[in-house]
Amino acid sequence: MKPVLLVLAGALVTTLAFPPYGPGVLVVAGVALFLAGLRRLDRPVHGAWAGLAYGAVFIATLMWWLKNLHPAALVLAPVEGVFFGAYGWWLVSQRRRPPVAWWALATGGWAFMELWRYRLPYGGMEWGAAGYALADARWTRYPAALVGTSGLTVMVVALAAVIALALTGRLDRRLWWAPAAVALVYGVAAVVPSGAAGDPIRVAIVQGSTPCPFEHCGPDERYRTYLQHLELTRGLDDVDLVVWPESSMGGFDADPVNSAEVREAIAAETARLDAWFLGGTDRPIDERSWVNANVVMSPQGEFVGEYLKQLPIPFGEFVPFRSIATKLISELYRVPRDMRPGDGAVTFDLDGIQLGSVISWEGGFSRFARAHAAKGAELLVVATNNDSYGPGVPTSDIFIGMTRMRATELGLDVIHGAVSGRSVLIDASGDFITGMSGSGVQAVVVGEVRPREPSVYARTGDVLMWAAAAAAVALWWAGRRVVVSEGPAGQEE
């Protein structure tokens, strides 16, 4: 098969590994087809174009729904493709290396690329990381508690690189230990004990939706959203913690810090239920800035504190190069203020239980949730608002898959609440405690979670990914002058 067909087929198969398709193990085949395509190329510039095509097609087909936010958001696909293009250029330049060395470079080079992609530009993006595709089954995701989603990504590429060598007739028998090492990680993870769990906590996620789900319907929409959440809360009883999702309190129009009416109404419900409360709000700071926050109130109705979102969404919560961008894209004037980011993780003491929370976009990054676990969180809230992307899109399913992996890798139960759905409670193994709510509807999700001690990964971090990347850099540096004779059509002699 021609290299371009292998690369494009790899991109599409990789997309099919993610929700709403699957199964997740297809991601190994998708990456293997891409690597096999790169092995059939003989010029680094061709590798760059192949990588760009793979990354752009993969991200565009995985996240096509971004166009509902704004058509210009699809520029994300070629931007992400640049990372894969750089990887393709570099890996093709190493194609003359012996098979074992090439395998190590392919695996570690991918890890090196992802370390950059997770952080650049504007905070980076983890959506599309190969490890997240494995979230759909317990037997594929459970080693994340030991090595994280990043470690699963490394293992996916390690297996895919072996398959790519086999597809191109260059498999070295010494690589038998690569799948054996993956099996060893799975074996060790199976016997590592999970963290101790505390007494159950009864949680209610209030998914109040908006007056006009997936649309905008007038200047009082945000206040009416708050009223819908309040009305559903008034129907609750026998709960220990009430969670309202991101932007559920009306924000600028109904912020509990600035509005005594809102604060007193919520305080009345916490007192009636004798329950803790966490809810999402956004608050103007001045004419140019605002904050996105999770606020916490005690059963006595007292304001305990808040967590400020640290990672704003480019062109959604802030406008890069505002003076230029707003002239080029007139609709960006709808984002008149830039979000002011928080400066770190915050945990809240709920009668001896440490609660951490992340907000929306940053819930798709291991590092933000892990920072809360490192600070002592025994329970995690992922508060989000999927209302901007429109109905009938897989946004919620993909994001919930990432939250399942978040729960598994941290070893914590997670409360995943969305304004317009879907919402669900997830245990520390990544299994659903409750059924998922519908999308675009009002719902209340009630169930029991437990505070837990964090996992090995929560304490050690992305060790496997950093080690693979460092090994690739060291191997490249040590053998940068090695030349192996090579025949035509990309077959070494």
pLDDT at 42: 94
**CA-to-CA separations, 103 to 36, 160, 175, 490, in angstroms, rounded:** 12, 9, 8, 16
Alpha-carbon distance of 69 to 390, in angstroms, equals: 8
Mean pLDDT over residues 350-362, rounded? Answer: 97
What are the tokens at 298?
Answer: 């005690």
Tokens 């999402």 found at: 280
Over residues 163-176, the pLDDT tens digits come to 999 999 999 999 99
pLDDT at 333: 60
Each residue of 217-237: pLDDT tens digit?
888 888 999 999 999 999 999
Query: pLDDT at residue 148 above 90?
Result: yes
Distance between CA 301 and CA 277 in Å, rounded?
Answer: 9
Tokens of 89: 């250029």
Measured between alpha carbons, how far is residue 313 from residues 45, 69, 84, 365, 486 in Å? Answer: 32, 12, 22, 13, 47
Cβ-count burial of 78 within 10 angstroms (0-12 exposed, 13-18 middle, 19+ buried)? Answer: middle
Examine the pLDDT at 107 and tell me if it is beyond 60: yes
More confident residue, 46 or 330: 46
Better-predicted residue by pLDDT, 483 or 108: 108
Which of 64-73, 175-184, 308-317 ranks highest by mean pLDDT? 175-184
The mean-pLDDT minimum among 25-39, 140-154, 200-214, 333-347 falls in 333-347
Cα-flanking dihedrals φ and ψ of residue 97, to 5°? Answer: -70, 155
Per-residue pLDDT tens digits for 263-283:
999 999 999 999 999 999 999
Mean pLDDT, residues 3-14 taken together: 98
Question: What per-residue confidence (pLDDT) applies to 160?
Answer: 98
Task: Give the DSSP H/E element, type plus range, for residue 228.
Answer: helix 221-233
What pLDDT is stored for residue 489 in this prediction? Answer: 42
- Residue 485, pLDDT > 60, answer no
Distance of CA 380 to the CA centre of its chain: 14
Label residue 484 by pLDDT band (50, 70, 90).
very low
Cα–Cα distance, 299 to 273 (Å, whole number): 8
Tokens of 420: 């317009």
pLDDT of residue 143: 98
Predicted confidence (pLDDT) at residue 493 exceeds the cutoff of 60: no
| Residue 162: HSE in the Cβ half-sphere, 13 Å Cα cutoff | 17
Burial 447-482 (b: 16+ CB within 10 A, else e): bebbbbbbbbbbeebbebbeebbebbeebbeeeeee
Tell me what pLDDT residue 1 has.
Answer: 80
Residue 388 confidence (pLDDT): 67
pLDDT beyond 90 at 404: yes
Q: How far apart are CA 373 and CA 233, in angstroms?
A: 29
Q: What is the pLDDT at residue 332?
A: 63
CA dist 29 and 137 (Å) reads 17
Check whether 185 has a pLDDT greater than 70.
yes
Give 149 or 254, the one with higher predicted confidence: 149
pLDDT on residue 151: 98
Look up residue 323 and give its two tokens: 């003076």
Which ranges in 17-43 belong to alpha helices (H)?
26-39
Average pLDDT, the chain: 93
For residue 471, pLDDT beyond 80: yes
pLDDT of 392 strictly over 90: no
pLDDT (average), residues 91-105: 96
pLDDT at residue number 486: 44
445 beta partners: 205
Cβ neighbors of 59 (< 8 A, separation 6 or more) are 76, 77, 80, 81, 127, 128
Residues 145, 194: contact at Cβ < 8 Å? yes
215 or 131: which leads in pLDDT: 131
Mean pLDDT, residues 176-191 = 97
What is the pLDDT averaged over residues 56-85?
88
pLDDT above 70 for 387: no
